[in-house]
Structure 1
Amino acid sequence: MNLSGIIGYPVTPYSQDNKSVSLEKLGNVIDILLEAKVDAIAALGSAGEAAYLSESEWRLVADYTVKHVANRVPVIIGIAELTTDKAVNYAKYADEIGADMIMLSPFSYYKLSEEEIHSHYEAVSNATKLPIMIYNNPATCGVDMSPEFMLKMVNNITNATMIKESTGDIQRMHKIFALSNGKVPFFNGCNHMALEALNAGANGWCTAAPCLIGDKPKQLFDAVKNGNSQEAQRLFYQQYEFLEFIVTSGLAASVKSGLSLLGNEVGSPRKPLLPLNPAEKKRLKAMLDILV
């Protein structure tokens, strides 16, 4: 699959008591992303609170997302599980429901060796025909994979075809590009370094920002790809404070609060996560008043 552009991340909306997933509201969030001209939808990532969902809820969100998107853009399903068996089961399910790709993170309690991580990815690859995006996000998953090791997995594991790098270290992206001679697609997962990443050769940008600021991320991507550096710089710095804020304040909390401010109530994040405090909401509102 030749994937590029903006990969939009929906939050997972809840009912008023936060006890169940609201599929109707999820459909609304997906529609907001599609209206923002995203090139793919990635359900069940960090912004989607995948780690806080029961297995039945996880499957419900995955299935509904595929059905609601209805082939308008590719659907990527995020998988980050402690055990290989559960990751394999989720990958099989993503395949069964018609997802286009899986984004696989090695989630850890014990520190994992490279041999264990390789085995984890290999087992998932053997269980499905879907392409796998190797996702390096040590801040949330507790595992940090080097560019060299991720490229080794791309070379050795059949369905491992691309990389999402979220450490915020631009040198890692340069290294992925240089070591693979630009042949292995990689994606930026760090919002506030989007301009640097795209200029470093990233095939796209994975972000929940379009939930709140429409097609501005897509405009930035297009400006970089069209070689319009001045416009790209203008668009990036227009968004920069907002992009940094939603990361430092917590994606689920900030995006859900932002949607509420824009008239789309999707509930609060699940505890122990907390919604934004009044000062943070005020700051977010001020940014949205300018951007939206």
Structure 2
Amino acid sequence: MSKFLGTGVALVTPFKEDLSVDVDALKNIVNHVIDGGVEYLVVLGTTAESATLSKEEKELVKQTVATANNGRLPMVVGVGGNNTQQVVNELKTSDLSAFDAILSVSPYYNKPTQEGIYQHFKAIAEASPLPIILYNVPGRTGSNVLPQTVIRLANDYKNIIGVKEAAGDIVQAMKLIKGKPKDFLVISGDDMVTLPMVLVGGAGVISVIGQGFPKEFSQMVRHALRGNLDDANHIHFQMMDIIEYIFEEGNPAGIKAVFENKGLCSPYVRLPLVPASNALKEKISNYGLKVPNFR
């Protein structure tokens, strides 16, 4: 699954002032990240505010990204939830022909046991027409998919090809990398710990900051995958401040403020989220005025 080595970006859904989907801005963002050198696109993940998009809007987003991409990069689409049967039905009835894999988040709110999580993904694996990347993000779901559960799924279902690991726990990531099947991908879901995860054997990242600074962040990941530690460290340390900024008031308010600063889209998000504060926008703007000497 070399197509998912390196940097994938979890695309935002840009909105107009009336909070309708801004199709033109989305096309511009797709071209921006492709021109920046990322390896693949992730559509309708958490950063896309999928929870507040209607079924029709999700279809619009998928079609818009697929058209703008025009086959240039592999694409992953988010298909997940906390109602297993509903996820299975979506997989069986959706047109996923434009995509190369699905990203499926661990069930949120229900707080299932590890066996419940296993059975959830077993049902998805048996229904999915595409390879599956699991998504573990305990800070949002309320439950942690433990390494033994991920490894059990990876061994039992060959179409489960990787995990986006966003627990922010480097020890947990190392346990996953140590115990995984040979070709299974452990992908960082946390921008700040991407570098150390790659250096201990991770496959790359599904990134938020990578869409704001695609050239720089994807180059850092490539340096890390090639073992160029000095160059990777140089970019990582230069980007630490902006990574902190974009999550300071929640995602995707922060990254949309970056895009506003770059003239790529407006800062609007849908309730219950609110746009970044003026104070945060000023910090982001000041960072942009003193763009570090990346290499």
Q: Same fold (TM over 0.5)?
A: yes
In 1, Cα distance between the equivalents of 2:157 and 2:96? 21
2:229 is matched with 229
1:9 is matched with 10
| Conserved? CA contact 2:43–2:62, under 8 Å | yes
| Conserved? CA contact 2:151–2:180, under 8 Å | yes
| Conserved? CA contact 1:10–1:33, under 8 Å | no
1:75 is matched with 75
In 2, Cα distance between the equivalents of 1:260 and 1:177? 37
1:23 is matched with 23
Q: Give 1:237 shift.
A: 0.2
Q: How does 1:152-231 map to 2 (within 5 A)?
A: 152-180=152-180, 182-231=182-231
SS in 2 for 1:81: coil
| Conserved? CA contact 1:213–1:291, under 8 Å | no
SS in 2 for 1:42: strand
1:148 partner amino acid: Q
- Provide, for residues 104-156 of structure 1, a one-character-per-residue CA deviation record: whole Å limited to 9, x for no partner: 11232222122322222122222222000011001112221011111101111
- Provide, for residues 246-292 of structure 1, a one-character-per-residue CA deviation record: whole Å limited to 9, x for no partner: 12332210111111111123341101101111111111111122238
Q: How does 1:1-292 map to 2 (within 5 A)?
A: 1-2=1-2, 3-18=4-19, 20-92=20-92, 96-180=96-180, 182-291=182-291
SS in 2 for 1:268: coil
In 2, Cα distance between the equivalents of 1:82 and 1:268? 27
> Structure 1 vs Structure 2: percent identity of aligned residues?
25
Q: 1:85 to 1:62 in 2, by over 3 A?
A: farther
- Provide, for residues 62-104 of structure 1, a one-character-per-residue CA deviation record: whole Å limited to 9, x for no partner: 2332232122111000123121132223334555332110011
Q: 1:244 to 1:277 in 2, by over 3 A?
A: same
| Conserved? CA contact 1:165–1:189, under 8 Å | yes
| Conserved? CA contact 2:155–2:181, under 8 Å | no
In 1, Cα distance between the equivalents of 2:275 and 2:105? 26
In 2, Cα distance between the equivalents of 1:157 and 1:67? 32
Q: 1:15 to 1:122 in 2, by over 3 A?
A: same
In 2, Cα distance between the equivalents of 1:289 and 1:90? 45
SS in 2 for 1:80: coil
Q: Give 1:213 shift.
A: 1.8
Paired positions, count: 291
2:233 partner amino acid: Q
Q: Give 1:182 shift.
A: 4.9
In 2, Cα distance between the equivalents of 1:71 and 1:143? 36
In 2, Cα distance between the equivalents of 1:215 and 1:146? 33
Q: 1:56 to 1:181 in 2, by over 3 A?
A: closer
In 2, Cα distance between the equivalents of 1:114 and 1:40? 30
Name stretches of at least 5 consecutive residues in structure 2 with no aligned partner: none
In 2, Cα distance between the equivalents of 1:177 and 1:163? 10
Q: Give 1:227 shift.
A: 2.0
**Segments of 4+ in structure 1 off by > 6 A?**
none
Q: 1:14 to 1:183 in 2, by over 3 A?
A: same
